[in-house]
Chains A and B, each alone.
Chain A
């Protein structure tokens, strides 16, 4: 019984937190460890390319917490959105082509983070349900406009309240399943997963100590491919 916990946990760690080919964070993201490293990050409201319009809010409300917890100064997405609206920017895709120096000048941001929701598919099969999510994260320096970090997060999360045969998932889905599934914790979990690949920022105890951690280069490159 206890072994099940152990095996599922280890499998999860292996499948979602690493993968081949791998690089250390310092090799993958050199700009995050030298003078170019950002402290303040402006998160651009998520660009939603999925078929689910509701997914945008799930990610916008859950990104500040995990990004801040990795040690960055993160500006509240809601305020940023209002500022953009006042400037006539209603859609984040309008921002993509702009020179990043604008964000240094107007927000004092060292870096700007673009988040793209590629997939948010809910599936229901009689007693079982899941949501399949695919996200791209691309961070650019506002000094040099270069891409300093990128990562792709892909997860299929079980939303079944009934037994799925996996104890871990049962516990999780029982906790989050009420009348309807609460997707906020799911979106938060995906954001947390992506930021495990992000070098820790100045407010984290691990700042400057995580350069030897491994990340998947496949996921690093995937975010850039889909982005182009």
Chain B
């Protein structure tokens, strides 16, 4: 039993390339949906990735952990590009409030998308 536990923990270490998450983030299938969208940039794949970003945010809320870096920013960026400027702007501001070090980056996105002052 003890050996079993050891085997399982080694296997988990193996999968993670020896790294364990010490931040508590939940990423869901972020890489997977992003990759699909990049390979095949259809509206369906874009919607799927946007949904995945929303799922990550929801998961963080249920688990009471921080939303991973960039998730609000990426969601906000995609929404704004799709024409939802108020919704996009709100997400971008959330990013800057959770991660104050992102302020310059977020201002840069505002500028690029013509969202006015953040």
Residues of A within 8 A of B (CB): 2, 5-6, 8-10, 12-13, 16-17, 39-40, 57-58, 60-62, 64-66, 68-76, 78-79, 82-83, 86, 105-110, 168, 171-172, 184, 188-193, 195-196, 200, 203-206
Q: Is the CB of B19 within 8 A of A10?
A: no
New contact pairs (9) apart from A70-B19, A105-B104, A106-B104, CB-CB < 8 Å: A57-B38, A61-B31, A61-B34, A65-B27, A65-B30, A69-B22, A75-B105, A168-B14, A192-B19
**A196-B17 in contact given A65-B27, A78-B74 (Cβ < 8 Å):** yes
Residue of B nearest to A82 (CB): B112
Q: Which residues of A contact B74 (CB under 8 A)?
A: 76, 78-79
**Which 5 A/B pairs are nearest by Cβ-Cβ distance?**
A108-B104, A9-B10, A192-B17, A5-B7, A193-B17
**A107-B101 in contact given A72-B69, A184-B31 (Cβ < 8 Å):** no
- The docked-state distance in angstroms from the alpha carbon of A58 to that of B108 is 26
Residue of A nearest to B66 (CB): A203
- The docked-state distance in angstroms from the alpha carbon of A149 to that of B101 is 20
Residue of B nearest to A206 (CB): B22
Q: Is the CB of B17 within 8 A of A203?
A: no
User: Does B102 touch A at the CB level, under 8 Å?
Assistant: yes
Q: Is the CB of A39 within 8 A of B17?
A: no
Q: Mark B38-66, 1 if CB is under 8 A from A, else 0.
A: 11000000000000000000000000001
Q: Which residues of B contact A189 (CB under 8 A)?
A: 15-17
Q: Which residues of B contact A172 (CB under 8 A)?
A: 14-15
Q: Mark B84-106, 1 if CB is under 8 A from A, else 0.
A: 00000000000000010111110
**A69-B18 in contact given A10-B10, A79-B74 (Cβ < 8 Å):** no
Q: Which residues of A contact B73 (CB under 8 A)?
A: 75-76, 79
A–B complex contacts, Cβ < 8 Å, 25 sampled: A2-B4, A5-B7, A9-B6, A10-B10, A16-B18, A40-B101, A40-B102, A65-B25, A65-B31, A65-B68, A68-B25, A68-B69, A69-B23, A72-B69, A75-B105, A78-B38, A83-B108, A83-B109, A108-B105, A172-B15, A184-B35, A192-B16, A192-B17, A193-B17, A205-B23
- The docked-state distance in angstroms from the alpha carbon of A73 to that of B73 is 12
Q: Is the CB of A57 within 8 A of B35?
A: yes
Q: Which residues of B contact A73 (CB under 8 A)?
A: 69, 99, 101-102
- The docked-state distance in angstroms from the alpha carbon of A200 to that of B4 is 29
Q: Is the CB of B19 within 8 A of A69?
A: yes
Number of residue pairs across A and B with beta carbons under 8 Å?
Answer: 144
Residue of B nearest to A66 (CB): B19
Q: Which residues of A contact B105 (CB under 8 A)?
A: 40, 75, 107-109
- The docked-state distance in angstroms from the alpha carbon of A79 to that of B77 is 8
Q: Which residues of B contact A196 (CB under 8 A)?
A: 17-19
**A83-B112 in contact given A9-B11, A10-B10, A189-B17 (Cβ < 8 Å):** yes
Q: Which residues of A contact B34 (CB under 8 A)?
A: 61, 78
Residue of A nearest to B8 (CB): A5
Q: Which residues of A contact B77 (CB under 8 A)?
A: 76, 79
Q: Which residues of B contact A70 (CB under 8 A)?
A: 19, 22-23
- The docked-state distance in angstroms from the alpha carbon of A184 to that of B32 is 7
User: Does B115 touch A at the CB level, under 8 Å?
Assistant: no
